[in-house]
Amino acid sequence: MATLLQVKNLTKSFGSVIANNNISFEVNAGEIVALLGENGAGKSTLVKSVFGLLRPDQGEIYIDGKQMAPGDTAAVIASGVGMVHQHFQLVPVMSVTENIILGDEPKDGIFISIKKAEKKVRALSEKFGLAVDPTANIEDLPVGMQQRVEILKALSKDVRLLIFDEPTAVLTPQETDELILVIKNLAQLGVGVIVITHKLREVMALADRVVVLRDGKVVGTTTPKQSDEAGLAQMMVGRNVVLEVSKGAANPGQPVLSVKGLEVFDDRKLLAVKGVDLQVRSGEILGIAGVEGNGQRELVEAICGMRVRAKGEVLVGGMGTKDMHPHAVHEAGLSHIPEDREKHGLVSSYSIADNLILNRFDQQPFARGWFRNMSAIKKNADLLVKKFDIRTTSPAALASALSGGNKQKVVIARELSQDLQVLVAAQPTRGVDVGSIEFIHKQLIAARDGGAGVLLVSAELDEIISLSDRIAVMSGGIIVATIDNKNADRDYLGRLMAGLSA
């Protein structure tokens, strides 16, 4: 096999932080290499250096044996490297075709030939079996389809090495399975593939070779055949990780959260939640499984008071919460781990200490009259940072300086550090590394065992199955079935999620 990419002794630091420390690896034609590592291990930095988006401090990058000048993206693209970015590099108001041809536009005289361009897009989409509508606008497409455009954009430039940066972070399980097939297909066509991920199941399903990074260094190279999920997790985290969640039997009591006949509109003013009834009892976890975009987000937002309810009612601890403001719903006893922690969970420009009291800043002991009680805030922060294992240099550091997993720990620490009746956790482990996932799962179970009713919404079916006591499946804006976890079965749930009557 021909060596496509060779990275030799690459080092890159940001200030005093060494993101990549003397890294060497290579990729052959037709090979799928997974770069595995926790958040902050230096995976993204590494591929950005390869792609010329960052300038490494030291080290050499060879493509087809030819050394690349550092930081020259155009040259890297010209030598046949494409990248599918984690945050899609697509212009939302432009069409699929315009996005794909950007930077390499087919011309008719001095003008762009949209006809030629659309023909090119159609040909590409046929060649790789990725169906898209060339005239559709990006902003009208679902996330999975946008990623398809992003892949086609990368493939449009005669690509021989394709880099995927966390490609499944935003995908549903079905879309993930599809993507795995697409990547395998590409490798069969001779394309070398680098996949960055921290999801072990995908690595096992996908990779020919796994390069594991930890703290900016390569800690090992292996293959899925030689290793298993537990072994990979251990390499990645540097210690033993319990992947299975161990929990005792639930001890459900009175209903603490009741939703009756709830109807909610989405941002486009379409009915997204079409009459949902559910009950969460104290001391149990009710999981809501479903393909994303079936009304879960709107359901959660309506329950927490962040979205207007068109019809129906939500009772927290038996108390109606009609027209209540999110803060009032919180006072009524409901804590919320929001789906989008950057937008709704944290203020990135505030310190960790301030983020830890965001919902209680005006209450004793954090406020005394009109003034903030700095010593109480600091004491609280020191305590929670320790208890929830938030990895930071200081509680006074800005939240924006934390990794994804640690940001999530801040949100969870804040929401769980008080008496709570109901906890609504939406996608609590999204974009979080394995070590933190384990910790977060333990905290959710601890909240349950402490007598709270937990409503867990997650796109990860495995997470739902391993944590929930009861599972409600949501599809098309309604709860299609609620089953006891003893009867849970991936296939059966998958069919319900897809909207098929089981």
CB of 405 to another protein, least distance (A): 15
Binding segment toward another protein, per CB under 8 A, in 47-55, 283-291, 322-330, 443-451: 47-55
User: Of these, 25, 35, 44, 198, which contacts another protein (CB under 8 A)?
Assistant: 44
Contact, 51 vs 23, CB < 8 A?
A: no
Contact, 332 vs 315, CB < 8 A?
A: no
Strand ranges for 378-428 from DSSP E: 422-426
Instruction: Using the minimum distance from each CB to another protein, give the nearer residue, 53 or 241.
Output: 53
Which position has the token pair 């149990």? Answer: 284
Q: Which residues pair with 263 in a beta bridge?
A: 274, 311
How, if at all, do strands 161-165 and 81-84 pair?
A: parallel
CA-CA distances (angstroms) from residue 404 to 79, 232, 299, 477?
33, 20, 25, 30
How many other CB atoms are found less than 10 A from the CB of residue 494?
A: 17
CB of 279 to another protein, least distance (A): 38
The span from the first CA to the last CA of the chain, in angstroms, equals 47
Does 74 participate in binding another protein (rule CB under 8 A)?
A: yes
Q: Half-sphere exposure of 253 toward its Cβ, with a 13 Å CA cutoff?
A: 14
CB of 111 to another protein, least distance (A): 5
Instruction: Using the minimum distance from each CB to another protein, give the nearer residue, 76 or 384.
Output: 76
Instruction: Using the minimum distance from each CB to another protein, give the nearer residue, 140 or 484.
Output: 140
Token couple for 378: 């600091």
Contact, 279 vs 257, CB < 8 A?
A: yes
Does 19 participate in binding another protein (rule CB under 8 A)?
A: yes
How many other CB atoms are found less than 10 A from the CB of residue 451?
A: 14
Does 398 participate in binding another protein (rule CB under 8 A)?
A: no
User: Of these, 54, 61, 329, 497, which contacts another protein (CB under 8 A)?
Assistant: 54
Binders of another protein among residues 82 to 141 (CB under 8 A) are 83, 85, 87, 89-94, 98-99, 101-105, 107, 110-112, 133, 135-137, 140
Count, residues near another protein per rule CB under 8 A: 38
DSSP classification of residue 354 = H
How many other CB atoms are found less than 10 A from the CB of residue 365?
A: 13
CB of 140 to another protein, least distance (A): 5
Does 23 participate in binding another protein (rule CB under 8 A)?
A: no
Instruction: Using the minimum distance from each CB to another protein, give the nearer residue, 93 or 249.
Output: 93
Instruction: Using the minimum distance from each CB to another protein, give the nearer residue, 101 or 352.
Output: 101
Q: Interface with another protein by CB under 8 A: which residues?
A: 14, 19, 44-45, 51, 53-54, 73-74, 76-78, 83, 85, 87, 89-94, 98-99, 101-105, 107, 110-112, 133, 135-137, 140, 153
